[in-house]
Structure 1
């Protein structure tokens, strides 16, 4: 069984198309289909049709509930500005799909128990979970699963914590670890491979530039896509 593990697409359709070509038998999606990027509809459609198991991310939740974000800088600012584009380009059925995704999923594949959650078992939508063994020991005390799959941080890692394995596949659509290539994971026979693949970044930038977003937002997003790193505002990372 070859499992494609993906997270944090953020409406980046060119990136998802490349990752989708990875051979797989099953696809697990760990949340955050929307915001930042300007092509949410084909991304939602692909995940709805192809991801056998999917969970809701904080951005999916916010878009479905029409949460207003008034951030002044960094990614909160970008979320607030791009949220309107997200909702305008999705159908009511798309938004219902996002809102109805579970915040966690437990399942068994070939006797291996999986927990899928966007952020962490304690806080499924918002907590940032670092690749730290002591942190994860506390989070896994009452978790009955062999493999815990999380996203949210946009930084990939694999971590052995006692008899459990934690996997963060990174971000398909907006990596933030200094490598602009798509990040994802493949699980096969309990072996995990973190993978990176180039995608046509300029296609994503072109779509953003042809949108109705403010010019400053277009420039910020283009910079994030090209660097694969967080927003730089006033010479620092907010």
Structure 2
């Protein structure tokens, strides 16, 4: 299974269009918030099941603030992250994810990609496709790929 994970597109979808041209076909799209009204466009563009949540800049929308679901046996918890103060550290978010029994937690908000692997939890942030803040400021996204044996690989990719 091939899953595209993105965040913080902030109403600018040209880089998402480029990424989808590069990585398609995908089996699922996960958008971790700050779509700013572009959720219908993103859903249609993905042409596959999509999980899109609300970020701190998604006003007056019906998107959920958080979701939990399973991917190939992995319990996944997704949130934008701002309610867990992820700009300061991942600790509150990790505590919440563990309390929910999640295997993987995904968040956005910081515009900086990161992967943290611990024995009981994998924490992912794809960064931002529109306004990256990490050194070099290259737009970033993640791919999650699972195999038949239930193994998952995660990669940070840049445009």
Which TM-score band applies after superposition, normalised by the shorter structure? 0.7 to 0.9
Shift of 1:138: 3.7
1:101 maps to which residue? 63
Structure 1 residue corresponding to 2:86, chosen from 115, 120, 128: 128
1:31 maps to which residue? 33
Say if 2:4 and 2:144, in contact at 8 Å, map to a contact too. Answer: yes
1:82 maps to which residue? none
Shift of 1:179: 2.6
TM-score, length-scaled by structure 1: 0.57
2:39 maps to which residue? 44
Shift of 1:187: 0.3
1:56-135 to structure 2, matched below 5 A, reads: 56-60=54-58, 63-64=59-60, 99-119=61-81, 123=83, 127-129=85-87
TM-aligned CA distance change 1:131 to 1:119, over 3 Å? same
Shift of 1:101: 0.5
1:163 aligned onto 2:125: no
Say if 1:19 and 1:172, in contact at 8 Å, map to a contact too. Answer: no
Larger fraction in helix: 1
Work out which of the two has the higher radius of gyration on C-alpha atoms and give 1 or 2. 1
Runs (4 or more) in structure 1 with deviation over 4 Å come to 129-132, 134-137
Q: How many residues align?
A: 149
TM-score, length-scaled by structure 2: 0.83
1:33 is paired with a residue whose SS is coil
Cα distance in 1 between the residues matched to 2:78 and 2:95: 17
Say if 2:86 and 2:93, in contact at 8 Å, map to a contact too. Answer: no
TM-aligned CA distance change 1:115 to 1:135, over 3 Å? closer
